[in-house]
Amino acid sequence: MTSLRSRILHRTLKRVAGNLALNLPLQIQRTRMDELARRGIRIPKEVTVRTVQASGVHAEWIEPAGMDPNRTILYLHGGGYCICSLDTHRGLAARLALAARAQLLIIDYRLAPEHPFPAALEDALAAYHWLLSQGIPERQIAVGGDSAGGGLTLATAISLREGTKALPAALFLLSPWTDLTFSGESIHTKREVDPIFGGDGNRLGFAPAYLGINDPTNPLISPLFADLHELPPTLIQVGSDEILLDDSVRLEEKLKAAQISTRLVVWQGMWHVFQVFAPYVPEAQQAIFQVGDFICEHIP
C-alpha cells in the first residue's frame, strides 16, 4: 500500500503539472525546472560537490562522507534530452551516492535542439572514458540515469560493447525512456492515472528535437530495438502510474531473452522518476536504497 504522503503528492502533481506545459519556450522550461529544483530539493549535508571537466564535458563530483573510493557511479540525468541540468538532479544524485557509498560523477551533457543526437551520447562516452583515464577500472563503475538518461545509459553501454568492450559492472535505470516511437500500450492505458504526462499529448514532445533527421528506431536512440546481448547486470525501476511503464516492461523481456541478469521493480502508485521526491516520499527513498544495494552487490 502506498504511503499517505505519496498519495497526496500524486494528486498534487496531477493538479499542477500543467504549469510546466511543454508549449512554453524551451528556455523558460529550463529556467523554471532549475528554479523549482533549487527551491524544493535540498542537498544532503553529508556530501561534498566539486566541479570538474571530464574530457571537456562539464560535470560534478558528488562525494559522500564514508564513501568507498573503489566504487564509482556515472549518472546521466533525464529531461527528454532537452531540459534539466546538474541543478535539477544534484539532489537525486547525492542521495544515490550516499545509498551506494560511492563517488558519483554527474555530467551536464549537451541538450537538444541545439545539440541533437548523437551529442548527448558522445558526451556520455567521453565522460566514461575520462573515468577510465583517471585510473578507475570498469569493474568499479556503475552507470545509471533516469528517463532520457536511462535510455542514454543503455545507449552508452551498447556503444561500449561495440567499441572498447570496457563495460561497466552494472546499469540502473529509473523510469527509462527506451522507445522514441511511443509504441507501448501504456502510452494510452496509463494516460488517465499518470500525474506527470497523462492527458496531454505534448508532454513527450521533445523527441523530434533530439532525433533531428535520424530514425527513431535507431538502437542508440531507442535502445528497446537494440541487440542487448552481453550487457551488464541491470536494475530497472518504474512507477505503475506512468505512461512509460511499457518502456520498462518490454525492456526487461528483451534483456532476459538476451540472457542478461535483470531485475524490474514496478513501484505501485508511483509516477515518472518518483525517486526525485525522496525528501518528501518514503517510497522514493526506499527505491534509492534499493539502487544502492544493487550497486554494492555488483561492486563489493
CA terminus-to-terminus distance, the chain: 32
C-alpha cell recorded at residue 156: 552508452
Nearest to 267 by CA among 243, 295, 292, 236: 236
Known catalytic residue: 147? Answer: yes
From the candidates 6, 85, 147, 175, give the one annotated as an active-site residue.
147
C-alpha cell recorded at residue 62: 558528488
175 phi-psi bin (left φ>0, alpha ψ -120 to 50, beta other): left
Cis geometry, peptide bond prior to residue 282 (ω within 30 degrees of 0): no
Residues 220/155, Cβ–Cβ less than 8 Å: yes
Known catalytic residue: 192? Answer: no
258 phi-psi bin (left φ>0, alpha ψ -120 to 50, beta other): alpha
From the candidates 60, 138, 242, 283, give the one annotated as an active-site residue.
242
Which amino acids are annotated catalytic? 147, 242
